[in-house]
C-alpha cells in the first residue's frame, strides 16, 4: 500500500533522514519514536511533500509520491492530511472556516478567497466538530481556543480532507496530559472507525505503546526498530533513545497515571 | 438516558448549524454590500476624473509608451556615447547619494529621539507624547519640495537646503515607524533597569536599543533608498546633483534623450545596489540575533 525505499534527506552537510525504508500493507496506526532531531518530522514532511526528498522513492498504491509536482502534488497533499505540533491554524479565522480549509484543494481559488463554501460542506464541518466534541466552539476564532481544542480543530481540518492517510507530527507535544489523551483517543478512533492510516510522530514511549499497532524507531536519521509494541523492550528503547541504564519509561511519560507507577530509576534531567 | 443525551446533542448540533449559517449569511451580505459600494465608487470616481482630464484617458492610453519609446530609441542610436555620459554624470550622482546619506543619518538620529519620546510606556514626559506625535505629523505632512523651495529661497541653491528638507521629512516618517517598532519591544527589561536606579537615557540606550536596533536599521536602509529618489527630484528645483542634470536633459527634448536615459540607468543601478547591500546587512543582523538566542 505505502512503500518507502531508501528515502534520504540532506540539509547541506547534515543528513536528516538516512536511507529510510519501510512498507505498510493495510491501514494501520503507526507510531514513529525517537529523540528530537532523529528525523521523524522530516520523514513525515517528505511524505506530505512539504519538503522534497534528496533521494529515494515513496510509493502509495499506484502513485509515485516522490515524483509528483504541481496540481498532482497538491492533490496528493489533500489525500494525505497533516497535523502539526503547533496546530498551524489560521488564528484570526473562526473554527468552522479553519475546518473548511480542508476542502481547499477541491474548490476554486476565487470562491475560497471570499469564504464561499457550499452549505453541505459547512454542515459536514460542524458534524466533524461534533464528533470531536467541540461543536459548541464553531463560531469562535481559532485563537480563542485552548491548545487541546485547537489540536482537535486541526484534526477536524484533516478529517474534512477525507484523507486516506493522516500524518500527525508530535500531535500531543504541546498539550497537557488530559488533552493529550483526548487527542490520541480521537486519532485512534479515526483509525478504527474510518479505516484511515494514521502515522504519528510521538516523543514518548508509552503513548506509542498504548495507541499504535506498529512502532518504528528512528535514531540519527536511520530506522533502527520496526515491529509491534510488544517487541519494544526496554533494551530496544534504550538503543533508540541512546540512553544509559538509568533510562526508564516512566521518566518520559506524560500520562496521568504514570505518577503512580513504581519508578525503576532516577528520572532523566531533561 | 443514552437516548436523552443523544437527542440533546443532535438538537444542539442543529442549533449550532443554524446559528453558524445565519452568521455566515450575515457576513456574506456585508461583504457583498461592501464590494458593491467599492465598485460603484471606483467606476463613479474614474468617470469624474476622466471627464475632468484635458486629454481623456482612453484617447491618450495608446500614447502611454511613446515617450519611453522615444527616449530608449535615441539612447539605442547613440549607444556609443553611453560610457562617456556615465562618466560625466558620476560626480552628480555622488552628490545626490551624499545628500541622501547625510539626510538619512541626521533624520534617523532625530527620529530615534522623537520615537522614544512619543512611545507610550517609554516616554520621558508621558503627557507630552501627543505633542511629539503632532510634531512628527507636521514634519511628515509638509512635502520635502516645499521645505526645499523655502530653504533655497533663504539660503540659496545647493545641496545643504535639500539635505535639511529631506532630513526633516525623514525624521517625521522614520519617527513614526520607529515608534511602532518600540511598541512591540518588551517593557520588562526597562523595569529591570529602572529597579537598579537607571536614568531615562540609560534605560533607553541599554534597555530599548538592543531590542529595536535591527528593525530600526532595516527601516533606515529603506528610507535611504527612498531618499536617493527624493534628492534626485529636489535637483529639479535647484538643489544640485543628478536631478539638475536630468531636468536639463529632459527639458532640452529630442537630441539629449540619450543623456536622460543614461541618468535613469544610473539611478536604477544605484537603487539596485543599495537594495542588495541593505538586504545582506539586514540578513546579517537577523542572523546575528539568532545565534545570540541560540547561545543563551
Mean pLDDT to the nearest integer, A233-253: 76
Does residue B294 surpass a pLDDT of 50?
Answer: no
Does residue A238 surpass a pLDDT of 70?
Answer: yes
Mean pLDDT to the nearest integer, A47-51: 92
Q: What angle do CA A151, A157, A161 make, to 5 degrees?
A: 145
For residue B107, name the pLDDT band (cuts at 50, 70, 90): very high
Which structural domain, as residue segments, surrounds residue A241? 2-260
pTM for this model (two decimals): 0.72
Set of chain A residues whose Cβ sits within 8 Å of the Cβ of B8: none
List, for residues B142-183, the tens digit of each pLDDT value.
Answer: 988 899 889 888 888 788 889 999 999 999 999 999 999 999
List, for residues A96-109, the tens digit of each pLDDT value.
Answer: 999 999 999 999 88
C-alpha cell at A179: 488533552
Answer yes or no: do A136 and B9 touch at CB < 8 A. no
Q: Residue A213 burial by CB count (10 A; 0-12/13-18/19+): exposed, middle or buried?
A: middle
Mean pLDDT to the nearest integer, B267-276: 87
- DSSP class of residue A230 equals G
Does residue A196 surpass a pLDDT of 50?
Answer: yes
Answer yes or no: do B13 and A115 touch at CB < 8 A. no
Q: Looking at residue B256, what is its pLDDT?
A: 78
Block residue for cell numbers 556609443: B80
Number of domains in chain A: 1
Interface predicted TM-score of the whole assembly (ipTM), two decimals: 0.71
* A residues 239..258 contacting B (CB < 8 A): none
Q: Say which CATH number the domain at A70 has.
A: 3.40.50.300
Taking domain B69-295, whether its CATH number is 3.30.230.70 is answered by no
- DSSP class of residue A102 equals G
C-alpha cell at B199: 536614568
In this structure, is residue A57 part of a structural domain?
yes
In this structure, is residue A48 part of a structural domain?
yes
Q: Looking at residue A205, what is its pLDDT?
A: 86
For residue B218, name the pLDDT band (cuts at 50, 70, 90): confident
C-alpha cell at B171: 525624521
- Full strand arrangement of the beta sheet holding A214-219: A80-83, A165-169, A197-201, A29-33, A214-219, A222-227
* Domain definitions of chain B by residue range: 2-60, 69-295
For chain B, the helix, strand and coil percentages under 3-state DSSP, each to the nearest 5: 85, 0, 15
In this structure, is residue A174 part of a structural domain?
yes
The H or E element spanning position A221 is none
For residue A155, name the pLDDT band (cuts at 50, 70, 90): very high
Distance CA B283, CA B291 (A): 12
Answer yes or no: do B20 and A130 touch at CB < 8 A. no
In this structure, is residue A270 part of a structural domain?
no
Q: What angle do CA A72, A77, A79 make, to 5 degrees?
A: 95
In this structure, is residue A268 part of a structural domain?
no
Alpha carbon of A92: minimum distance to chain B alpha carbons (Å): 15
Q: What angle do CA B139, B145, B150 make, to 5 degrees?
A: 85
pLDDT-above-90 percentage for chain B? 32
Set of chain B residues whose Cβ sits within 8 Å of the Cβ of A96: 20
In this structure, is residue A269 part of a structural domain?
no
List, for residues B109-153, the tens digit of each pLDDT value.
Answer: 999 999 999 998 889 999 999 999 999 999 999 988 899 889 888
Set of chain B residues whose Cβ sits within 8 Å of the Cβ of A115: 24, 27-28, 31
Amino acid at each position: 500500500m505505502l512503500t518507502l525505499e531508501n528515502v534520504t534527506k540532506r540539509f547541506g552537510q547534515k543528513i536528516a533522514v538516512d536511507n529510510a525504508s519501510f512498507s505498510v500493507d493495510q491501514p494501520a496506526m503507526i507510531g514513529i519514536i525517537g529523540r528530537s532531531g532523529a528525523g521523524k518530522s522530516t520523514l513525515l514532511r517528505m511524505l506530505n511533500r512539504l519538503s522534497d526528498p534528496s533521494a529515494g522513492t515513496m510509493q502509495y498504491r499506484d502513485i509515485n509520491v516522490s515524483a509528483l509536482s504541481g496540481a498532482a502534488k497538491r492533490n496528493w497533499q489533500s489525500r494525505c492530511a497533516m497535523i502539526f505540533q503547533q496546530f498551524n491554524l489560521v488564528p484570526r479565522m473562526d473554527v468552522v472556516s479553519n475546518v473548511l480549509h480542508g476542502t481547499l484543494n477541491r474548490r476554486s481559488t476565487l470562491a475560497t478567497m471570499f469564504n464561499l463554501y457550499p452549505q453541505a460542506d459547512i454542515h459536514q464541518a460542524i458534524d466533524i466538530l461534533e464528533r470531536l466534541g467541540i461543536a459548541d466552539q464553531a463560531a469562535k476564532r481559532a485563537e480563542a481556543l485552548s491548545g487541546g481544542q485547537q489540536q482537535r480543530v486541526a484534526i477536524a481540518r484533516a478529517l474534512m480532507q477525507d484523507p486516506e492517510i493522516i500524518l500527525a507530527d508530535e500531535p500531543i507535544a504541546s498539550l497537557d496530559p488530559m488533552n493529550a489523551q483526548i487527542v490520541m483517543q480521537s486519532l485512534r478512533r479515526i483509525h478504527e472507525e474510518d479505516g484511515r492510516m494514521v502515522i504519528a510522530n510521538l516523543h514518548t514511549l508509552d503513548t506509542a505503546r498504548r495507541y499504535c499497532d506498529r512502532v518504528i524507531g528512528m535514531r540519527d536519521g536511520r530506522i533502527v526498530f520496526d515491529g509491534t509494541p510488544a517487541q519494544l523492550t526496554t533494551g530496544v528503547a534504550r538503543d533508540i533513545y541512546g540512553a544509559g541504564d538509568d533510562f526508564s519509561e516512566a521518566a518520559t511519560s506524560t500520562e496521568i497515571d504514570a505518577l503512580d507507577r513504581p519508578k525503576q530509576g532516577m528520572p532523566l534531567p531533561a | 438516558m443514552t437516548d436523552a443525551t443523544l437527542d440533546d446533542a443532535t438538537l444542539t448540533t442543529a442549533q449550532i448549524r443554524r446559528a453558524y449559517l445565519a452568521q455566515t449569511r450575515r457576513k456574506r451580505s456585508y461583504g457583498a454590500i461592501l464590494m458593491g459600494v467599492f465598485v460603484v465608487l471606483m467606476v463613479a470616481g474614474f468617470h469624474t476624473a476622466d471627464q475632468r482630464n484635458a486629454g481623456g484617458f482612453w484617447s491618450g492610453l495608446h500614447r502611454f509608451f511613446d515617450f519611453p519609446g522615444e527616449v530608449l530609441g535615441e539612447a539605442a542610436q547613440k549607444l556609443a556615447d553611453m560610457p562617456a555620459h556615465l562618466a560625466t554624470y558620476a560626480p552628480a550622482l555622488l552628490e545626490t547619494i551624499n545628500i541622501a546619506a547625510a539626510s538619512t543619518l541626521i533624520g534617523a538620529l532625530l527620529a530615534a529621539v522623537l520615537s522614544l519620546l512619543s512611545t507610550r510606556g517609554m516616554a520621558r514626559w508621558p503627557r507630552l507624547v501627543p505633542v511629539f506625535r503632532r510634531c512628527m505629523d507636521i514634519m511628515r505632512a509638509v512635502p520635502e519640495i516645499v521645505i526645499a523651495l523655502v530653504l533655497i529661497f533663504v539660503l540659496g541653491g545647493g545641496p545643504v537646503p535639500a539635505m535639511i528638507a529631506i532630513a526633516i521629512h525623514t525624521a517625521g516618517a522614520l519617527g513614526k515607524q520607529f515608534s511602532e517598532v518600540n511598541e512591540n519591544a518588551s517593557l520588562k527589561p526597562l523595569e529591570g533597569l529602572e529597579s537598579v536606579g537607571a536614568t531615562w537615557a540609560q534605560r533607553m540606550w541599554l534597555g530599548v536599543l538592543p531590542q529595536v536596533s535591527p528593525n530600526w536599521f532595516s527601516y533606515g536602509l529603506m528610507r535611504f533608498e527612498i531618499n536617493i529618489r527624493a534628492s534626485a527630484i529636489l535637483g529639479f528645483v535647484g538643489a544640485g546633483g543628478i536631478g539638475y542634470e536630468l531636468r536639463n536633459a529632459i527639458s532640452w527634448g529630442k537630441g539629449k534623450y540619450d543623456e536622460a536615459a543614461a541618468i535613469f540607468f544610473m539611478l536604477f543601478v544605484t537603487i539596485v545596489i543599495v537594495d542588495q547591500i541593505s538586504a545582506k546587512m539586514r540578513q546579517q543582523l537577523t542572523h546575528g540575533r539568532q545565534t545570540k538566542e541560540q547561545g543563551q
